[in-house]
Amino acid sequence: MPPCPHYFWCLMFNLEMAPADPILGLTDSFRKDPDPDKINLGVGVYKDDAGVTPIMRSVKKVEEQLLASESTKSYLGITGHAALPALTQPLILGNDNPLIGRGVVVTAQAPGGTGALRVTGDFLKKANPDATIWISTPTWANHTAIFQASGLKTAQYAYYDAVRQGLDHDAFLDGLKAIPAGDVVVLHGCCHNPSGVDPDADTWADIGSIARERGWLPLFDFAYQGFGDGLAEDRAGLCKVLESGVPAFICSSYSKNFGLYNERIGAVTYVGDSADEAARVFSHIKTTIRANYSSPPSHGGAIVAEILADSALRSDWEDELAQMRQRIFAMREGFANGLAARGVKRDFSFIKHQKGMFSFAGITPEQVDALRERHHVYAVRSGRINVAGITPDNIDRLCDSLIDVLQDSPD
Ligand code: LMR
């Protein structure tokens, strides 16, 4: 019998089930959980004191204006809203950054930070197919998948010291010194995901010097600007690296700081060596986008551009962002103090010093499972918790639940 002409496809459709996504898969499980007191500390979305992911005031206002004024749904250009690059660059690099005036910075709108990373990955594969992409240990669960999907090799550098709950400073810098020219190093611009541990100013300067000396390319994943210490403070690290004169990619996201998660809005920025080189890179970023999703969706970019261009809307946005940051900080304090007040032996005060949405709670995958099974508390199995999911209503139950599962393996 000749083989069925669809033999190949029949084999394909016998594929094993793909594993659930370690972060977004949790949201699915959380939704299915009927417990009324369940707590979601999984996916990195901001929640207010009522446990709601709000639409920011400035966003709502602009959406109302857009509804009245929008006159077409025709395609955007390949790189998105024309106004967005000139508004994004000062936000991520600083108003007075001389790099902008030198014409070496190019920016394209992208569908979220993830889209920006994928465009960059596809571009890098084309520009230097043999490059290895170096990723911190630990890192955001999707980094490896994105760059491998672009066909790139990935490798890991040391970053987090789980014993001291801080940066593994010497191992980190030694690792960066060993990375060869032509490779690419993914750095978290601020609010390291998942650990909440960022380099200090001196260490950022050292990173810049090492990048320049060794000849590797920094690629900043910049998804949480405004959630650490402030918009300006949070870009200081990447600006310090750029001061050393190295080219770099910056994949920024407006999902978190504008609360525009489901509108998929971010940007890919390249800081080049010269205006000519940046223009050539940009031409290839455009062909990469065209072959990928053609042009970005409009709504999120239109909102961000309106807010950043209008001083009243912008100041309201910055105020609301500051309130969100302060609320997360208050929850960090409340959580660490709540555990201490319950007499927990382990010192959890490190939670107060970590930046952004996440903390590495220092619990094992089995303890994470026990939190979910016994207490309906959902966290990533690495032990990452989204502090922004803690509220005044759930904080006591969360502290009690954590103490219960810590007793499974007391130290
Ligand atoms: C997270 O780390 O939880 C967020 O960046 C959401 C995501 O896509 O994983």
- Of 259, 283, 309, which one is at a domain's C-terminal end? 309
Do the Cβ atoms of 334 and 395 come closer than 8 Å?
A: yes
Look at residue 408 in the predicted model and tell me its pLDDT. Answer: 77
Question: CA dist 155 to 57, 131, 183, 382, Å?
Answer: 42, 11, 10, 19
CA trace torsion 187, 193, 194, 195 (10° rounding)? 70
Is residue 155 domain-shared with residue 192, that is, in the same domain? yes
Ligand 1 centroid, distance to 69 Cα (angstroms): 33
CB proximity list for 154: less than 8 A, separation 6 or greater = 132, 133, 134, 135, 143, 144, 147, 148
CA 237 vs. chain centroid, Å, equals 15
Q: In the structure encoding, which two tokens stand for residue 75, read together?
A: 């395609």
Residue with tokens 């930046």: 355
Do the Cβ atoms of 168 and 221 come closer than 8 Å?
A: no
CA trace torsion 172, 173, 177, 179 (10° rounding)? 30
Is residue 300 domain-shared with residue 161, that is, in the same domain? yes
Number of the ligand 1 atom closest to the C-alpha atom of 261: 6
Is residue 334 domain-shared with residue 278, that is, in the same domain? no
Residue 217 lies in a domain: yes
The number of distinct structural domains making up the chain is 2
CA-nearest residue, atom 2 of ligand 1: 44
Residue 60 lies in a domain: no
Look at residue 410 in the predicted model and tell me its pLDDT. Answer: 55
Range of the domain at 378: 21-55+325-406
Residue 252 lies in a domain: yes
Residue of 28, 43, 265 best suited for mutating to test ligand 1, as the one with most atoms within 8 Å of CB: 43
- Of 274, 309, 344, which one is at a domain's C-terminal end? 309
Strand partners, 41: none
Task: Strands of 262-357 (E only): list them.
Answer: 266-271
Residue 314 lies in a domain: no
The secondary structure of 210-238 as a DSSP string is HHHHHTPEEEEEE--TTSSS-HHHHHHHH
Distance CA 129, CA 141 (A): 23
Number of the ligand 1 atom closest to the C-alpha atom of 21: 9
Ligand 1 centroid, distance to 298 Cα (angstroms): 22
Ligand 1 centroid, distance to 193 Cα (angstroms): 9
pTM: 0.95
Residue 67 lies in a domain: no
Ligand 1 centroid, distance to 303 Cα (angstroms): 22
Residue 359 lies in a domain: yes
Ligand 1 centroid, distance to 101 Cα (angstroms): 33
Residue 16 lies in a domain: no
Number of the ligand 1 atom closest to the C-alpha atom of 114: 8
Instruction: DSSP letter for 138, please.
Output: S
Ligand 1 centroid, distance to 251 Cα (angstroms): 14
Q: Comparing C-alpha atoms, which of 99, 369, 408 is closest to residue 250?
A: 99
**Binding-site residues, ligand 1, Cβ < 6 A:** 23, 43-44, 140, 142, 193
Angle ∠(280,285,288) on CA atoms, nearest 5:
130
End-to-end CA distance of the chain: 65
Is residue 296 domain-shared with residue 233, that is, in the same domain? yes
Supply the CATH number for residue 180's domain: 3.40.640.10
Number of the ligand 1 atom closest to the C-alpha atom of 223: 5
Do the Cβ atoms of 21 and 30 come closer than 8 Å?
A: no
Distance CA 387, CA 390 (A): 5
Residue of 114, 140, 357, 386 best suited for mutating to test ligand 1, as the one with most atoms within 8 Å of CB: 140
Instruction: Please give the average pLDDT of every successive group of 10 residues along the chain, which has 411 residues.
Output: 71 83 92 95 95 97 96 97 98 97 97 98 98 97 97 98 94 98 98 97 98 98 98 98 98 98 98 97 98 98 98 98 97 96 92 94 93 96 94 97 86 56
- Residues taking part in catalysis: 140, 221, 256
Long-range pairs of 339-346 with CB within 8 A, sequence gap ≥ 24: 339/399, 339/402, 339/403, 342/399, 342/400, 342/403, 344/403, 344/406, 345/410, 345/411, 346/406, 346/411
Look at residue 1 in the predicted model and tell me its pLDDT. Answer: 61
Residue of 23, 139, 255 best suited for mutating to test ligand 1, as the one with most atoms within 8 Å of CB: 23
Task: Strands of 128-171 (E only): list them.
Answer: 132-137, 153-158, 160-161, 166-167
Distance CA 377, CA 39 (A): 5
Supply the CATH number for residue 383's domain: 3.90.1150.10
